[in-house]
Amino acid sequence: MQTQARATTRTGPAVRLEAVTKDFGTVRAVDAVDLTVHEGEFFTLLGPSGSGKTTLLRLVAGFEQPTGGRIELAGDDVTGTPPNRRDVHTVFQDYALFPQMSVEQNVAYALTVRGVRKAERLARAHEALTTVRLDGFAARRPAELSGGQRQRVALARALVDRPAVLLLDEPLGALDLALRQEMQTELKELQRTTGITFLLVTHDQDEALTMSDRIAVVRDGRIEQTGPPVEVYERPATAFVAGFVGTTNLLRGEAAVRVVGRPGTYSIRPERILLTDPAEASAREPAEGSARQSAESSAETSADGRRTVTGRITDIVHAGAHTRFTVMLPYGDRLIVHRQNLTGLPESARPDGEIGLSWDERDAFPVPS
Amino acid sequence: MQTQARATTRTGPAVRLEAVTKDFGTVRAVDAVDLTVHEGEFFTLLGPSGSGKTTLLRLVAGFEQPTGGRIELAGDDVTGTPPNRRDVHTVFQDYALFPQMSVEQNVAYALTVRGVRKAERLARAHEALTTVRLDGFAARRPAELSGGQRQRVALARALVDRPAVLLLDEPLGALDLALRQEMQTELKELQRTTGITFLLVTHDQDEALTMSDRIAVVRDGRIEQTGPPVEVYERPATAFVAGFVGTTNLLRGEAAVRVVGRPGTYSIRPERILLTDPAEASAREPAEGSARQSAESSAETSADGRRTVTGRITDIVHAGAHTRFTVMLPYGDRLIVHRQNLTGLPESARPDGEIGLSWDERDAFPVPS
Amino acid sequence: MPAAPTPGSRLRLTALLAPPLLWLTLAYLGSLAILLLSAFWTTDSFTSDVVHTWNTDNFHELLTTPVYRTIALRTLSIAVAVTVVDALLALPMAFFMARVAGRRWRRPLLVAVLTPLWAGYLVKAYAWRVMLGENGVVGAALAPFGLHGPGYGTTAVVIVLAYLWLPYMILPVYAALERLPERMLEASADLGAGAWRTLRSVVLPVVRPAVLAGSVFTFSLSLGDYLTVQIVGGKTQLLGNVIASQVTLDLPMAAALSAVPVVLIVCYLAAVRRAGALDSL
Amino acid sequence: GSGNDDDKGGHAPDKLGKGEGKVNIIAWAGYAEDGSNDPKVDWVHPFEKKTGCQVNTKTAGTSDEMVSLMKTGQYDTVSASGDATLRLIASGDAAPVNTKLVPNYKDIFPALKQQPFNSKDGRMYGIPHGRGANLLMYRTDKVTSAPDSWRAVFDDAARYDGHVTAYDSPIYIADAALYLMSAKPSLGIKNPYALDQKQLDAAVALLKKQHQAVGEYWSDYQKEITAFKGGDSVIGTTWQVIANLTKAEKAPVKAVLPKEGATGWSDTWMVSAKAEHPNCAYKWLDWIVSPKVNAQVAEYFGEAPSNRKACAETAAPDHCAIFHAADEKYFQRVHFWTTPIKQCLDGRKDTDCTDYAQWTRAWTEVKG
Amino acid sequence: MRISRTARVALGCVTAAGLAIVYVPLLLVLLNSVNTDRSFGWPPSGLTGRWWRAALHSEGARQALLTSLKAGLAATAIALVLGTLAAYAVHRHRFFGRRTVSFLLVLPIALPGIVSGIALNAAFRTVLDPIGVGFGLFTVVVGHATFCVVIVFNNIGARLRRIAPSLAEASADLGARPWQTFRYVTFPAMRSALFAGGLLAFALSFDEIVVTTFTAGPGTRTLPIWIYENLARPHQAPVVNVVAALLILASVIPVYIAQRLSSDTAGGRL
Ligand SMILES: Nc1ncnc2c1ncn2[C@@H]1O[C@H](COP(=O)(O)OP(=O)(O)OP(=O)(O)O)[C@@H](O)[C@H]1O
Ligand SMILES: Nc1ncnc2c1ncn2[C@@H]1O[C@H](COP(=O)(O)OP(=O)(O)OP(=O)(O)O)[C@@H](O)[C@H]1O
Ligand SMILES: [Mg+2]
Ligand SMILES: [Mg+2]
């Protein structure tokens, strides 16, 4: 029946959720979510633990039935359809490989249950294993594989009959960093070459940012923001998104007035702040008209739209590719500054040194709180 | 007996391993390791999965007996001493909280077994819980806590009687990124305020780099390099260390000659490479005497010790704080370049654009392979 | 995770639950109900025919005749004693098997413990009869120490019942001990606890539900036994014997007597279930 | 319902029809051997061959079990002892037997016919099978005084503290009553199975005293033999066959019929009132008391045969002598088990006697 | 936990002593099977092989063994089906009264055999008899199956707790219909637990005597009943010893296989 599903002309986006709600007893895990994933897209659900990402994915796969709303796959309403009749496959976080079957049998499973002939089954299983570079491992049992290899078998198993949508629930969560980075590249590559729609769940912002075409940030069963990685990162819709996607300096109330110069809530990314000599900072020319230079503000805005401020470095941590400076401003505000480890560090960038900070005014963007 | 141990004057470093070897049957998990951890130090064992980090920690804790060599704690040979008579406590990766005891009872356990009076026990348990900001949770069971909270209970339990050394086996491995970063800061803070020697095991380079006073990189049961984070990152002793601690461009053989200008194995960190306009790159003045300008080299070295090269951008990934460029050089070498997301990106830094790359000659450092 | 009820899963649940529950209700609970109901009937004293007139004479007699109370108490104490003896034996044995003996030895040891389950209950009881006799093995083994065997009687009953049910206690305790994460023991030692302390604070709480689960068997099997008592009990009689002797003669009285162990065991099970031990059965 | 309804229990057939091809039997262990335990001991297969009636045997351990099994109505015939027969007759579970249809009945010892434990109102309710006495057995090495009275296990029981044994059944109360008949004539016991409340109380008191010296109560061969062999029991009741077997195992024991006489058992093959296979049941009745088979059973089980011609058929020529088969003087001293009922069996009309249910409760109390 | 040498030795001694106590009576049974005496006895008066010969020719023992095997297998089969269904319901679904089900399932084995026996007896008599179903192998099987269910239930339940539910989901996700999921995924994962549970259930049925006594019909003689009848009979006790000895020797095999098959800890759960 999956072949049939594929044969029908697609009449809509790969996945569409309309006002989908899911309650577990009194817990509302998913709360009136609208979501559209386009065909061929690499879409990521990003959110903290317990935000409802897995539940959303399980609703799409059909393991859970929504309490309200409707779910469409390729334009067809599948709200009541059981998992085995949906043209989607899942890569589980724990891989869920069948322990008693060989790698080959695992990968061929979707074909076996559809009654595909043995010869074709094996041919296609090997093709899928080749795609994930595991063609030599067909005869092994899952227990005889390393974590990364298992992950790839799970992938091959889900890809073998080219489902319309592939669902991935934190597929890299159990791997160590080096392997995780390697697998990220591979996954992205695979999605590109197969053209299958990927719907990925993760709580790792790096993973979401580097792999996705679009990201939906989930919080407490609701979607806070949907958009391409750059947009989500550069223009977070809420303070929560700003904080969860990347590190940020959040400034509210008085601190915002003092540092940014305006009341409200503002976010400044640590990597957007430049370290300068304090002398240089004070030498900058203030902007024309002092309306923008409020009395309480400890910072100044120069004519070229850059805002400068001086402070004292309280902590320096060498974090490999960048160094993290913690700078204490007058009035007790604290800013985190990241600086790529290149040459040309100002003299005073040492513990307890007086330092100048400057950023483009537009980099301190307001966020609804 | 722990009180006694603490009462004796310290005569040596907090932990010292001398030619310690541990075999499991035919597997040599730890291979003649020498290691010294000073008092009050935050020391990290960093290495890939299966490298023997946990085994090393367990040898120090006394859960395993070395096959050969000797182990000293504060100058005393403890090679045969059982765990309960060593003045060290462990924070286990899975926390190993006692499920049937309340948080308070868990934390007070070390005091209970030493027969401390109930009133004092409770007072000190609460003090420890306050340190980890969990004073309101004393009556709960471990099962009623979130992952991060459990982790902190485990910490409080190990800290309650101020051991000389605290051993931590991937204590943050099970947490999600946001929580992990928060806990990193907390751990570091705790170590600073208590002055206890921390010996941490991790496979996460970021964690190791940001938290440690010194790092030992472990591989196949041996220590490849020991040193402060900056040193390990900036001056990796081996290609393995260079690759494992941070991302790197490793250049060997012909590629080294073409890119670096000399035969050998070289590492260039992606964040050390500057993106420039290709015009600017070729405008640079070659260094005097063309000895350094070999015929095969596709790069040039300028007078100020900067090496420049041009290539074509094949991939751009916005990774939040930085953007990752993949640049294809003539002859097919590929370089990864990280660039902090600041203003002033060259015109041609777009997909398929011709781009100039430049780096300080010293940033392409040779590594023994 | 158990799935939440949806229309489809509810149907499947019904299909899953119906056969076992029907069986249980029809074959077992129904039988029990019939039995307990018949406790309210009486028997023609001569013909042993059941007279279907509703009355509570049997229970009245049960509660007012001192000998029944004596027997019930004796039975209860024997069941408790057997359970205690088994727990005391099973704990060190299971501990050795699960935690001290090498990995290679575990399976053979377990086989060694389980094999006697097949040897035939009666045969074993008779073997003990021979061993406990005046000139039996036990007497012979104790003689050099100037001691006597216990002879036939309540002590012998406790010994033999404890012997018979020992595997039922070892098995769950062993399973619990084997599942106990090594980490817990290490954590305890790491925090300064010696072996005894660790046993008391960490091992025992984990083992407790398993002991309770095992005790469901040792306790209830002892409570109802009457053959072993016949074989090695000397002149001892337990509830089981009285029920057995009444059953052919006066079924209603036997039914009333049966209510005693039923009530005892249901209470016991309820208590054990509270401790969460039914899951470790 | 009442057990005195004459119509109950059905009627004896006047003539036999063809065998039904099957018969369900309740028997004491050893009464219906089919060679499955010992190929040489088999009188079931020859019966099946001869009559075409397939035999299903259920072995019962006690009289009470037999009664309850008969009540199921699934069985055609039973080898009931005297403590079960009257109950079966009264409840109508057993039917009267037309002895004319059992040719071998004529050779049964007359002393076994028309006894209170196998007949009612002059009608036989079964065919007598065999008999034996409950003897007094003791170990000659431990009991040197050569007792000849039940006093040894009652008033003198304390001498063998912890080593006295007794039969584990309410019917054993009769043994105490029998002893009281001569030891305490003032109680006026005439028949050990007809005790009024006062007499029962006296017997129970005696048994309670005995209880203190009892090592164990026995109910099967095996237990009794091992107990005497091992020395756990040194004195107590026994059956002749147990005595013989214990002696065969080289234990120094001796069994005597004490001067007070003894209780005993006489088994009767009865037919169920609801028998589904009455013809085969009658064939079985005739077969089992035929001289040869009767001899076989008597020898295998260890009892006195009921058919006087059987004495000529025994393998051991002195079997009948050992078991006193034809010794009517011997059996006159034996009071065969009879179910105690409300109407006193000794003919007293002025008082109610205690029934078996009361005995059962008394027995539970004796054992404590 | 580090266990001192002394403690290890002490524990080892207790275990050894325990096992010794477990095996002494069994050895005695073996010994008695070649004892010339007709009844159980100590010390043996001489050695003989005639009981073994008699036992091997004992038609009754063979018949009883056959009956026991039939009853055990049938009861086990029923228990496997019912126990598995119940375990599935309880461990893979949430419903009101979930814990009560496990409680009820435990009852038949927790209540004394004599109570179960007479209850079943009374019920069969009042219900089955009138409709013409007599006591026999069938009633024995019903009785045994009732208390064997919980054994299977516990074993399968323990296994289900350890099988990740995601396996069945993965199968459905890959297009398998429910029965395909059962055939390819669930059943293979449960096989060893089924075997271990079945074996224990069988062992329990095989050695059951009390319930059997009250549920067996005429001519239905299981091995324990045969043993019971023959133990009480002077001529047969040694033959019973032989049968018991054979059982002991033969039982090592299934127990060992069960242990091997279930990589599970205790192999079987009660
Ligand atoms: N079967 C269930 N029954 C009851 N509550 C549930 C169930 N599944 C999920 N929940 C609850 O729903 C909420 C969302 O859970 P979900 O697993 O979708 O979160 P998640 O975003 O995937 O988290 P994580 O990153 O930790 O996997 C949580 O509060 C969780 O406790
Ligand atoms: N008890 C043991 N028996 C046999 N081999 C062992 C044992 N413990 C560890 N090893 C082996 O020793 C080596 C080192 O293991 P160890 O657990 O110390 O690694 P690790 O660095 O902590 O890895 P990870 O990051 O995966 O925890 C591995 O090859 C492992 O398989
Ligand atoms: Mg999740
Ligand atoms: Mg480790």
Question: Which residues on A lie below 8 Å from B339 (Cβ)?
Answer: 340
Domain covering C69-280: architecture = Orthogonal Bundle (1.10)
Q: Collect all residues with Cβ–Cβ distance below 8 Å to B272 and sequence separation of at least 6.
A: A341, A342, B359, B360, B363
Residue of chain C minimizing CA distance to D84 = C47
3-state secondary structure of E48: coil
- What's the pLDDT score for residue A3? 40
Give first-to-last CA distance, chain C, whole Å: 21
Give strand ranges (E) for chain D.
22-28, 54-60, 77-80, 94-95, 119-120, 123-124, 127-139, 164-167, 214-218, 235-239, 253-256, 262-272, 304-305, 334-336
Is residue D281 scored above 70 in pLDDT? yes
CATH number, span E58-262: 1.10.3720.10
Q: Which class does domain A249-366 fall in?
A: mainly beta
Q: D316 near D243, Cβ under 8 Å? A: no
For A340, which of B205, B245, B340 is closest by C-beta distance? Answer: B340
Write down the mean pLDDT value for chain B.
85
Nearest to D274 by CA among D126, D125, D127, D94: D94
CB pair distance less than 8 Å for A64 and C8: no
**Rounded Cα–Cα distance for residues E53 and E65 (Å):** 17
| Strand runs labelled E in D18-84 | 22-28, 54-60, 77-80
Q: Name every chain D residue with its beta carbon within 8 A of the beta carbon of E28.
A: none
Q: Name residues whose C-beta falls within 8 Å of residue B7's C-beta, 6 or more positions apart in sequence.
A: none
Measured in whole angstroms, the distance separating CA C111 from the mean position of its chain's CA atoms is: 21
Mark the residues whose beta carbon lies below 5 A from ion ligand 4: B 54
Judged by CB atoms within 8 Å, which residues 212-241 of B form the interface with C?
Answer: none
Nearest bound ligand to the CA of residue B50: 2
Work out whether the CA dihedral A192, A198, A201, A205 comes out positive or negative.
positive
Which residues 183-222 on chain C approach chain D with CB closer than 8 angstroms? none
D154-177 as b/e, with b when 16 or more CB fall inside 10 Å? bebbebbebbbbbbbbbbbbbbbb
Question: Could you tell me which of B237, B231, B202 has the C-alpha nearest to residue B47?
Answer: B202
Q: Is C276 left (phi over 0), alpha (psi -120 to 50) or beta?
A: left
Give the Cα separation of D296 and D313 in Å (integer). Answer: 8
Q: Say whether the peptide bond before residue B66 is cis (omega within 30 degrees of 0).
A: no
> Could you write out the three-class secondary structure of chain A?
CHHHHHHCCCCCCCEEEEEEEEEECCEEEEEEEEEEECCCCEEEEECCCCCCHHHHHHHHHCCCCCCEEEEEECCEECCCCCHHHCCEEEECCCCCCCCCCCHHHHHHHHHHCCCCCHHHHHHHHHHHHHHCCCHHHCCCCHHHCCHHHHHHHHHHHHHCCCCCEEEEECCCCCCCHHHHHHHHHHHHHHHHHHCCEEEEEECCHHHHHHHCCEEEEEECCEEEEEECHHHHHHCCCCHHHHHHCCCCEEECHHHHHHHCCCCCCEEECHHHCEEECHHHHHHCCECCCHHHCCCCCCCEEECCCEEEEEEEEEEEEECCCEEEEEEECHHHCEEEEEEECCCCCCCCCCCCCEEEEEEEHHHCEECCC
Given the cut 0.90, state whether the ipTM is greater than it.
no
The residues pairing with B359 across neighbouring beta strands, listed in sequence order, are B307
| Residue ranges of domains in chain A | 15-244, 249-366
Which of A177, A209, A317 has the CB atom closest to B319's CB atom? A209
Q: Report the C-alpha dihedral over residues D224, D225, D231, D232, rounded to 10 degrees.
A: -30
Sheet order of strands, A365-366 included: A249-251, A266-268, A365-366
Q: Where exactly are the structural domains of chain C? A: 69-280
B contacts of E2 (beta carbons < 8 Å) = 82-84
pLDDT of D128: 92
Place of tokens 């099973």: C90
DSSP state letter for D306: S
C44-91 pLDDT, tens digit per residue, is 666 666 777 778 888 888 888 888 999 999 999 999 999 999 999 999
Touch between B and A (at least 3 CB pairs under 8 Å):
yes
Q: Which residues of chain D are within 8 Å of residue C135 when distances are taken between CB atoms? A: 230-231
Rounded Cα distance between B262 and B297, Å, is 8
The percent of residues above 70 in pLDDT, for chain E, comes to: 90
Contact D58, E219 (CB under 8 A): yes
Residue D347 CA to residue E2 CA, distance in Å, equals 82
Q: In chain A, which residue's Cα lies nearest the Cα of E185?
A: A98
Query: Is A293 in CB contact (< 8 Å) with chain C?
Result: no
The Cα B192–Cα A314 span in angstroms is 14
**CB-CB under 8 Å, B94 with C190:** no
pLDDT in tens, D16-74: 888 888 999 999 878 888 877 677 888 999 999 999 999 988 888 778 778 878 887 88
8 A C-beta contact, residue A302 and residue A284:
yes
Mean pLDDT rounded to a whole number for chain E = 82
Show the tokens assigned to D145: 């005084």
Task: Give the type of residue at E38.
Answer: R
Pocket mutation for ligand 1, best pick of A24, A60, A168 (most atoms within 8 Å of C-beta): A24
Q: Which of C181, C183, C205 sits opposite B100 (nearest CB)?
A: C205
Question: Which chains sit next to C, with 3 or more Cβ pairs under 8 A?
Answer: A, B, D, E
- CA–chain centroid gap for B121, Å, is 35
Sign for the pseudo-dihedral over CA of E137, E143, E147, E153:
positive
Nearest protein CA to atom 1 of ligand 2, as residue? B24
Per-residue pLDDT of chain A (369 residues; tens, 9 = 90+): 344 444 444 557 999 999 999 998 888 999 999 999 999 999 999 988 888 999 999 999 999 999 999 999 998 999 888 898 899 999 988 889 998 899 999 999 999 999 999 999 999 999 999 988 888 899 999 888 877 788 889 999 999 989 999 999 988 876 767 777 888 888 888 899 889 999 999 888 888 998 999 999 999 999 999 999 999 998 899 988 988 888 889 888 888 888 888 888 899 999 889 888 876 655 554 444 443 444 455 667 777 778 888 899 998 888 888 898 999 988 788 899 998 888 777 778 888 889 989 888 888 888 886
| Beta bridge partner(s), residue B335 | B327
CB of B159 closer than 8 Å to CB of B122: no
Burial of A332 (0-12, 13-18, 19+ CB in 10 A): exposed
CA distance E250 to E262: 20
CA distance linking residue D68 with residue C77, whole number of Å: 31
Residue E61 neighbours by CB distance under 10 Å = 25
| Beta sheet of B42-46, edge-to-edge order | B88-91, B165-169, B197-202, B42-46, B214-219, B222-227
Q: How far is the CA of A183 from the centre of ligand 4 (A)?
A: 21
Distance A93 CA to ligand 3 centre (A): 8
How confident is the prediction along chain C (281 residues), in pLDDT tens digits per residue? 444 445 566 788 888 888 989 988 888 899 899 888 888 887 766 666 677 777 888 888 888 888 899 999 999 999 999 999 999 999 999 999 988 888 788 888 888 888 887 778 888 888 888 888 877 778 777 877 777 778 888 999 999 999 999 988 998 888 888 888 888 888 888 888 888 888 888 888 888 888 988 888 888 888 888 889 988 888 888 988 888 888 777 788 888 999 989 998 888 888 888 776 666 55
Query: Do E144 and E206 form a contact (C-beta atoms < 8 A)?
Result: no
Q: Does the domain formed by B15-244 have CATH 3.40.50.300?
A: yes
Which residues from E are below 8 Å from D222, CB to CB? 39-40, 231-234, 237
D-side interface with C, Cβ within 8 Å?
Answer: 1, 3, 62, 64-65, 67-68, 71, 86-87, 90-93, 162, 168, 211, 214-217, 219, 222-223, 226-227, 230-232, 339, 341-342, 355-358, 360-361, 363-365, 367-368
* Residue located nearest, by CA, to atom 6 of ligand 2: B24
Collect all residues with Cβ–Cβ distance below 8 Å to E154 and sequence separation of at least 6.
C281, E87, E197, E269, E270
Domain boundaries, chain E: 58-262
Token readout for C124 is 């074993």
